[in-house]
Structure 1
Amino acid sequence: MGKQANIRLDEAVRAAAEERAKRRGLSLQGYVADLIEQDVNESRAAFMAGAAGFLASYAERFEAEFGEDRYPVSRTGCRRTRRGTPREPEGRPRVDPGGGAADPRRSQVVDYGVPIAADARHRAEILGQEVYPEPHHKAAALLCELARQPSLEVRNLLFAATVTAAYLTACGLPVSPGLDTVLPLARAARDGLSVREVAAQIKTWTS
């Protein structure tokens, strides 16, 4: 069962919302829930559209620049966790036979903790204040986390950059195609460029 949230509305807004809810045969709470669901669905659709557009523009360029960009492998050919424990034998990437390995959505996830950590990081708050207040700050946090901590068998930098671009698109800031800064910034983020500097460069992706 979901938790009930109390939302404060001024009288004019509440009256208008109640009128619209009545027309649709809903309670006020049900009407607000529908609005939230609609917003979430629209954001999800924008995110997926942004990811598809970015992949169409940049997947081949990442492939040419970074190759397979595989999950880190030990000298003995076994995948390792961050603490160095062998995970599984090295082999070809497990890819959906209906598509190519260049699409990170078709690559096997090796470490689910990484995207979970990236999601938590870009939402981080301290004493009620957002650590990353603007969309390009949040996008930079996503890129840094995903680029530095591989989570897929292959195409990790492409995945990191795609998520970053898709997030910006979902925020209403679609990334311009053909940018020459995308690949260098993905590499720099992986290699330790500060999140502030990454954010400053990401801001130019949408201008």
Structure 2
Amino acid sequence: MPDLPLPPTGTALVTGPSNAGKTRLTARALDAWVAEYGADGVVVLDFAPELERDGTLLGGRLTQFTDVPAEAWRGVLEAHAPRAGGETNAEALSLAAANARRARRIVSAAPASPRAVFVNDATIPFQADGPDGFDPGVLTGYCDRADAAVCNAFESDELGVDDPVSRNERAALEALREWADRVVEL
């Protein structure tokens, strides 16, 4: 697994397929930041659904790999896995829209002046489209208020490519790639 040195400023995006180590690397970055700068002003946005497929946990919270300090602000999305939970494209988009609504509330409630932001499964809020969607610029704009931000995001064809949820997720991923100072591909 590559090392993700976390400079005192800047943005990083960690991408890869399921179970590649994105969440673990983000947790290591969080731990490194807290060890160097403390937990004051740290914001953790955890958007990962927890889904078991063929006996393997896909996704999952940062707390699998680290303890989020009590001083940090933590927003956790009880996320749906739209592609796995919806039997039709319409059902999957409905689940994605519910994720987007709840994620908007979490980001709106986050502290106005973060020092560092860590986002687990950053594209989950952006899988819906149209008026139900959530603009990735809201998340990147929030992260830009901090000195440093680390986001991770799923990047693979393993869950689909032609369905609306996958297309929306790829568009959000491209926006995150353009925003990030550094991209780490696992």
TM range (shorter): under 0.3
Rg larger for: 1
Structure number with the higher strand fraction is 2
Structure number with the higher helix fraction is 1
Report the TM-score when normalising by structure 2.
Answer: 0.27
Report the TM-score when normalising by structure 1.
Answer: 0.25
